[in-house]
Amino acid sequence: MTAGLDRLRGGTPPKRHNARTIAALTGNPGCTRRAVLDAAGVDKPRLAQRIGFPGSFGQSRFALARGNGFEAMLKADDCALLREVLAGCLRLDVSGAYDDLGEDADDTLAARHGRTRELLAEAAGAALIDHPLLTLDVAGQRVFLEPDLIAFQAEGRLHVVEIKSFAIVDGQADSAKVSAAAVQAAVYALALRRLLAELGHDPALVSHDVVLVCTENFSLQPVAVVLDVRKQLSTLERQLTRLASVSSLAAELPEQVSFDVALPPADLIAALAHVEARYAPECLSTCELAVYCRHEAAGSTAALGRPVRDALGGVDTVAEALALAAGTATPSEEQAEAAALLQAAARLRAEIL
Amino acid sequence: MSTLTALARAQAVVAGRAQPIATVRHLHVHPRPLVLIPLAMAGEANAPLAAMAGTDRSAPRLLVVAQPRNRSHRFAFAAELAELLVPYVDSFTAETEAVAVDRGRDVRHRFTDAPQLWVPNTGGVDFLRLFGRSTRFRSTEGEYAVPPSVPLLGRWLTFFANAAEVAGSSLLLNAVQALGLHWASGQSSAEDAQLAALLGWISPPPGRTGAEAALMAEDPQLFPPAGPATDPVFDNHVLAPLMSTADPDVAALTEVLHAQLLPTWELMWRTLDLLRELPPGARVAGRWDSDRDTYSGFVQHLAEGGPPQPRRDGAVAAAARLHRLENAATRYAVQRAFDDPLVMAEYRLTGAAFVGDVTLAKADRIDDSGKRPVLRPRIMVVTTETVRVEPGATLSSPQRPGQKALVISVTAVDEKTEVLLELSGGMGRKLVAEPGSVPEVGERLLLTTLSEAYRPGGAFPEPDRTPWTHGGPPVAFEPSEAGSEQADQQ
């Protein structure tokens, strides 16, 4: 991490990226604020709280307990149950060794990454590699990925295995949860591919078929399904290249800009004004700072959501849209068509109501 | 999002209050609905935690599951819910009425009323669907026997969840969608999903704007989530300590869950009050008739000992169902537009409907080019609105639903458009039109490409003749569940 970005964070230790934050980042690639804050490892929940706009991103203990219980059940007895569902799903030999690279901790990062490289470098290494530590270049920054996956190696190919505790009922699951899991798995698959390429292997050895292990129907029995994440992979690669180089963005920021959560709230808000946000209602469920950005975006058409903004002719503010509808503002050339439609709509509403 | 609704949202932002997007109510509001607010245990596969339910605003019933991970506790909850719901759905079978079918050659009977369930949001509908799925196949004998009311409840819940997929059905409604059909708030649709916030925009407390009320409604301390998901803070700090013991204090659990559910219970009845204030659309009663048909059919199916709804439809059943859903959606869209000028305005904006003045009318025009002469009056309609119809298209007008208007020509003159139309139908059987059946010069007329014409059902093969391309004939229903589910979560 560059000194410039470290300076932005102040004295606190950096927050690390994980597949979820990268997925969110690529979900809204135009948001400079998020890119800079994440790259600098700023504690966004703390920051939001400091400036008086706390988000609600708590997770229920019950959900965590079930997730952990399910994972532990799968990995018990040298992954007996996990091997069983993988064998049933992929029709591959799963009798190889299981290697757990250890729990998530800051001081073992480098060691774990080194061990991951070693294991992956040997073509005939362990079959199941738990908690491998991967890296990914995001917006000019090399980030460690918080490991929450198993890489399954068989016949020279690697599969990403994601364990999720949501249920697949009669072959159907909550589509939002499945697509979130698919994007996360794609982040891991991409990181694995980059690592293999660095090691001089063919990145295509990492399969685009990831395995999702969920619970079946209303029981805790596991069921594995294969997800093709080619689409997510290509989206991810495109978005990652589109992310502007954060280092250069950070370098352009004035000297006094800092997101050190120890600073008074007024200073933090002033600092935030230097990095532009691109708020959309979807941010509310993915970004801890969203409540503040929504407050800031009050009166903009973007705050009403993309479909509304588009239907209002893509103008920036609600006031502008209403002025066009009332005919009190002169539309620019490209607004002419939208303005005519808005005026007709306003006329109809006035006529009927 | 249509420009009209988007504009209403923009107007709501400035007005500080939700704006109407309908002039009439597009759904049936039952005089005695059953309001049901389910809560699910976080992380579990649709395990019920609690439910507040009832038909009396002043007397909600609270059902609580002390240990949602315990199988017998969950089915005890299902039995309790069945005790509440099954008598309610059975209470509409007292009276029947005769309906003529097959052009009066036959009659069939349907019940004069039907039940109506209300849940807060689409999550509530999904919860009921999955809870129906987890209960309707349960065996009432053997090692894992459940009371007979449990599979019956499952079949009813599945019936309601399936009905909720049919556009325009009022058997199972959710408050968020029902309100969103009639009002546009000044926030995004993602934020509208929270019932308290949406109601904040629609009827803010005195002295507050909709935005302020919606912001207040986001505080889970004041307005707990409307379910089925619970507030994680509540889970971690209130529920977890109470549930972590082997023998939870049911009285204490009941008290905290009552406090979580009561605010939503109030919001549900406020939703009903708000909707009742709107006058019903002219075609709402007709759709409720269809709902009564569906209900009567299902009661009969149960009485005849029919099997539970399958886990997944077979190919033929799925195709037929999709066809019915599409027909219902089309019919509903047309009916809403015909009932409500504000909905029709959406079509006027896109040119699929227009309002114009009749400038010429030849009411006695006879077309004698065919075998026998027929009455085909022609009228000229002049409009300033956008017209996107081609010659040869058939239009209709809500003022004269039985009449078709064939477009002969469309001519743009200055800022106006002249549309020449040839009329057929709805003018009586003689060669002279009934008085008033042909629009007169000077009449203001709305014409649209939308049509209320009858849509025939699709032709599908019998299930046992399902072609191999669609998996062949489906395997017959087997009442026992797979072993994995017998074992269930303990």
A30 or B486, greater pLDDT:
A30
Query: Which residue reads 């004269």 in tokens?
Result: B400
The pLDDT confidence band at residue A1, using thresholds 50, 70 and 90, is: very low
Taking CB atoms and an 8 Å limit, are A353 and B20 in contact across chains?
yes
Please state whether beta strands B353-362 and B444-448 pair in parallel, antiparallel, or not at all (unpaired): antiparallel
pLDDT at residue A105 tops 80: no
B477 pLDDT band (50/70/90 cuts)? Answer: low
| Ramachandran sector of residue B472 (left: φ over 0; alpha: ψ -120 to 50; beta: rest) | left
- Provide the 8-state DSSP code for B238: I
Residue B300 vs residues A162, B243, B294: alpha-carbon distances, Å: 46, 43, 10
pLDDT score, position A29: 78
B102 phi, psi to nearest 5 deg:
55, 50
What pLDDT does residue A344 have? Answer: 93
Residue contact B1–A218, C-beta within 8 A: no
- B 466-485 residues with CB below 8 A of A? 484-485
Distances (CA, A) of B216 to A46, A279, A292, B240: 22, 21, 15, 26
Q: So where are chain B's domains?
A: 3-309, 314-352+453-479, 354-448
Which has the minimum average pLDDT: A88-97, A268-277, B43-52? A88-97
Q: Do A318 and B10 touch (CB under 8 A)?
A: yes
A-B C-beta contacts closer than 8 Å: 152
Average pLDDT over residues B434-463: 88
Mean pLDDT of chain A, nearest integer: 85
Note the pLDDT tens digit of each residue in A308-324: 999 998 899 999 999 99
Q: Which pLDDT belongs to residue A333?
A: 87
- For residue B103, name the pLDDT band (cuts at 50, 70, 90): confident
CA of B446 to nearest chain A CA: how many angstroms apart? 13
By the 8 A CB rule, do B6 and A308 touch?
A: yes
Q: Is A221 on the interface with B (CB under 8 A)?
A: yes
pLDDT attached to residue B484: 38
- Nearest Cα residue in chain B from A171: B312
Nearest CA in chain B to A340: B349
Q: Is the pLDDT of residue A11 over 70?
A: yes
Of B399, B398, B439, nearest to B419 (Cα)? Answer: B439
Residue B457: the pLDDT is: 78
Chain segment B140-151, per-residue pLDDT in tens = 888 888 999 999
Half-sphere exposure (Cβ direction) of A61: Cα atoms closer than 13 Å: 12
> Which residues in chain A touch residue B348, judged by CB atoms under 8 angstroms apart?
348
Residues of A in contact with B45 (CB under 8 A): 166-167, 169, 215, 217-219
Please give the residue of chain A at the shortest CA–CA distance from B22: A353
Q: How many CB atoms lie within 10 A of CB A245?
A: 13
Alpha-carbon gap, residue B99 to B108, rounded angstroms? 5
Amino acid A99: pLDDT: 75
Dihedral (CA of B476, B478, B481, B484) sign: negative
Contact with chain A for residue B345, Cβ under 8 A = yes
Burial-class residue B57 by CB neighbours within 10 Å (0-12, 13-18, 19+).
middle
List pLDDT tens digits, range A207-231: 899 999 999 988 889 999 999 999 9
* pLDDT score of A24: 78
**CA distance linking residue B135 with residue B153, whole number of Å:** 7
- Which of B27-44 are b and which e, b meaning 16 or more Cβ less than 10 Å from the residue's Cβ? bbbbeebbbbbbbbbbbb
* Tens digits of residue pLDDT in A161-207: 999 999 999 889 999 899 989 998 999 899 889 888 888 888 888 88
Q: Which residue from B349, B380, B347 is spatially nearest to B365, judged by alpha carbons?
A: B380
Q: What pLDDT is recorded for position B360?
A: 94
pLDDT for residue B106 is more than 80: yes
Contact A214, A167 (CB under 8 A): yes
- Contact at CB, A219 and B489, closer than 8 angstroms: yes
**Which of chain A's residues have a Cβ under 8 Å away from the Cβ of B9?**
304, 308
**B451: which DSSP letter?**
-
User: Which range scores top for mean pLDDT: A166-175, A259-268, B110-119?
Assistant: B110-119
A352: nearest CB among B6, B9, B341: B341
Residues 6 or more apart from A333 whose CB is under 8 A from it?
A: none
Reading the block at residue B32, the tokens are: 């005695």
Give the model confidence (pLDDT) of B167-216 as tens digits. 999 999 999 999 999 999 999 999 999 999 999 999 999 999 999 999 99
Query: Rounded to a whole number, what is the distance in Å from the CA of B235 to chain A's nearest CA?
Result: 6
Q: Crossing angle of helices B284-303/B315-339, nearest 10°?
A: 150
Look up residue B425 and give its two tokens: 């139908």
The pairing of strands A128-130 and A98-100 is parallel
Helices A175-198, A230-242: crossing angle, 10 deg rounding: 70
Local confidence band at B277 (pLDDT 50, 70, 90 cut-offs):
very high
**How large is the average pLDDT for residues B60-67?**
94
Question: Are B190 and A301 in contact (CB < 8 Å)?
Answer: no
The answer, yes or no, to whether residue B482 has pLDDT greater than 50, is no
- Using DSSP bridges, classify how beta strands B374-375 and B61-64 pair: parallel, antiparallel or unpaired: unpaired
Q: Is the CB of A218 less than 8 angstroms away from the CB of B240?
A: no
Nearest chain A alpha carbon to B342: A352
| Average pLDDT score over residue span B291-311 | 94
Report the complex ipTM. Answer: 0.89
Contact call for B10 and A62, based on CB within 8 A: no
Chain B interface mutation, best of A62, A223, A283, A295, highest count of B Cβ atoms under 10 Å = A62
**Rg of chain A's alpha carbons, rounded to an integer?**
24
Chain A from 249 to 288: CB within 8 A of any B CB: 281-282, 284-285
Query: Could you tell me if A229 lies within 8 Å of chain B, comparing CB atoms?
Result: no
- The residue that leads in pLDDT, A249 or B120, is B120
A308 → chain B, closest CA residue: B6
Mean of pLDDT values over B303-318: 90
Q: What is the pLDDT of residues A221-260, one digit of tens each?
A: 999 999 999 999 998 888 887 775 677 777 788 888 888 8
The pLDDT of residue B383 is: 94
**Residue-wise pLDDT tens digits, A31-67:** 889 888 887 888 888 899 999 998 877 889 999 999 9
SS3 content of chain A, % helix, strand, coil (to 5): 50, 15, 35
Query: Which residues of chain B make contact with A171, given a CB cutoff of 8 A?
Result: 312
Q: Does A328 touch chain B (CB under 8 A)?
A: no
For residue B489, what pLDDT band results from cuts at 50, 70 and 90? very low
Q: How far apart are CA B15 and CA A349, in angstroms?
A: 15
Q: Which of B2, B9, B77 to mutate to test the interface with A (most CBs of A within 10 A)?
A: B9
User: Beta strands B378-383 and A134-138: pairing type?
Assistant: unpaired
* Tens digits of residue pLDDT in B369-424: 888 899 999 999 999 998 999 999 999 998 888 899 999 999 998 889 999 999 99
Q: Tell me the pLDDT band of B454, cut-offs 50, 70 and 90.
A: confident
Task: Return d(Cα B73, Cα B227) in angstroms, integer.
Answer: 20
Question: Nearest CA to CA, how far is A70 from chain B (Å)?
Answer: 11
pLDDT digit string, tens, across residues B205-255: 999 999 999 999 999 989 999 989 999 999 999 999 998 888 888 999 999
pLDDT in tens, B6-43: 999 999 999 999 999 999 999 999 999 999 999 999 98
Q: Which of the four pLDDT bands, split at 50, 70 and 90, describes residue A146?
A: low
Q: In this predicted structure, what is the pLDDT of residue A147?
A: 63
Which of B2, B4, B7 best tests the A interface by mutation, with the highest count of A CBs <10 A?
A: B7
What interhelical angle do A19-27 and A32-39 show, nearest 10? 160
Rounded Cα gap, residues A48 and A291, in angstroms? 8
Domain positions in chain A: 3-17+25-56+243-296, 61-240, 302-352
Which residues make beta-bridge pairs with A117? Answer: none
> Using a CB-CB distance cutoff of 8 angstroms, which residues of chain B are in contact with residue A218?
45-47, 134, 485, 488-489
- At residue B488, the pLDDT reads 44
In DSSP notation, B74-143 reads HHHHHHHHHHHHHHHHHTT-S-EEEEEETTTTEEEEEES----EEESSHHHHHHHHHHHHHHTT--SSST
Q: A45 to chain B nearest CA, in Å?
A: 15
Q: Is A171 on the interface with B (CB under 8 A)?
A: yes
- Dist CA A132 CA A115 (whole Å): 8
- Do the beta carbons of residue B37 and residue B124 sit within 8 Å? yes
B183's enclosing H/E stretch is strand B183-184
Contact B349 A348 (CB under 8 A): yes
* Element spanning B190, H or E: helix B189-192
pLDDT score of A103: 66
Chain B, 42 to 71: residues with Cβ < 8 Å from chain A are 42-47
Take residue B122 and report the two structure tokens written for it.
């689409």
Residue that has been written with the tokens 């470098």 in this structure:
A121
| B42 chain-A contacts, CB cut-off 8 A | 60, 62-63
Mean pLDDT of B48-53: 96
Calculate mean pLDDT across residues B42-54. 93
Place of tokens 């036959």: B106
Residue A337 per-residue DSSP state = H
Which residue of A170, A299, A305 is in closest CB contact with B189?
A: A305
Does B11 contact A at CB distance below 8 Å?
yes
What pLDDT is recorded for position B377?
94
Would the CB atoms of B6 and A319 count as touching at under 8 Å? no
Q: Do A299 and B10 touch (CB under 8 A)?
A: no
- Angstrom distances, CA of residue B163 to CA of A131, B118, B488: 46, 13, 28
In chain A, pLDDT over 70 holds for what percent of residues?
Answer: 93
Measure in Å the smallest separation between the Cα of B375 and chain A Cα atoms: 35
Q: Edge-to-edge, what's the strand order for the sheet holding A128-130?
A: A98-100, A128-130, A150-154, A157-168, A209-216, A222-228
What pLDDT does residue B480 have? Answer: 47
Instruction: Give the ranges where B305-340 is alpha helix by DSSP (H).
Output: 315-339
Chain mean position to CA B305: 28
Q: Quick check: A219 and B488 CB within 8 A? A: yes
For residues B278 and B206, is the Cβ–Cβ distance under 8 A?
A: no
pLDDT higher than threshold 80 for residue A16: no
**Is A74 within 8 Å of A213 (Cβ atoms)?**
yes
C-alpha span between B53 and B382 (Å, rounded): 55
Is A218 within 8 Å of B45 when comparing Cβ atoms? yes
Residues 6+ apart with CB under 8 A from B458: B319, B320, B323
